[in-house]
Amino acid sequence: MEEQIVYEDNHLLVINKKVGQLVQGDKTGDESLLESIKNHIKKRDDKPGNVFLGLVHRIDRPTSGLVIYAKTSKALSRLTQMVKNREIKKTYWAVVPKEPLPQSQRLVHYLKKNEKNNKAIIFPKPTEGAKEAILTYHIIQSLDHYMLLEIDLETGRHHQIRAQLSKTGIPIKGDLKYGSPRSNADGGIHLHARKLEFIHPVTKENIEITAPVPGQDAIWQACETGSR
């Protein structure tokens, strides 16, 4: 667990989540990162009582990358408000099929969550019950069969990046739910929460954190090397 911690102070902790890890408990009953980190801190710091840890935001189970947890209730309430106010800048990397697309594009769709199959339905124009979903992508690298996109999120909707890229004709590698022809061997998808930028909720310092890509994946490693 310690190797996954990329930032920590008295108020917050940022984890580089692995593919398949849950950020918090769900109906599967599998142990979540929330519980794993609590247990780790309790043991590491020899804490006698319960460890406070609050989840600030989520990323999907098949996705890797940065997740913020708050270590105090004050930090949790402030960070949660910052997420609502879009004061935390989130940058993602996504590996998609090589297609003739603009080098950079702002995508605006309207997204509705289907609770039955846990999937986002995308509409091209305002639709009842659908929320506006906005992102901007930049093609930052071209591989033999894939492109690496850097994505800046303006909104944070359910499965937003996955659904919007699929609607654009470039489903994320391994994402069967949104149109990728093949799954990845590890059951994950090639979507990585790469970077976070925000003002620290307590110290007011400017925080900028970048997460290394999954180390055992050849395509991710090619992306990491090529982007330097």
Tokens of 61: 């189970």
Strand partners, 149: 94, 139
Q: What is the DSSP letter of 99?
A: -
Q: What is the DSSP letter of 70?
A: E
Of 6, 19, 18, whose CA–CA distance to 189 is shortest?
19
Distance CA 140, CA 135 (A): 15
Active site residue 60: yes
Residue 176 CB coordination number (10 Å): 14
Options 60, 144, 152, 217, the catalytic residue: 60
Q: What is the DSSP letter of 9?
A: -
Strand partners, 89: 197
Distance CA 207, CA 204 (A): 9
List residues with catalytic annotation.
60
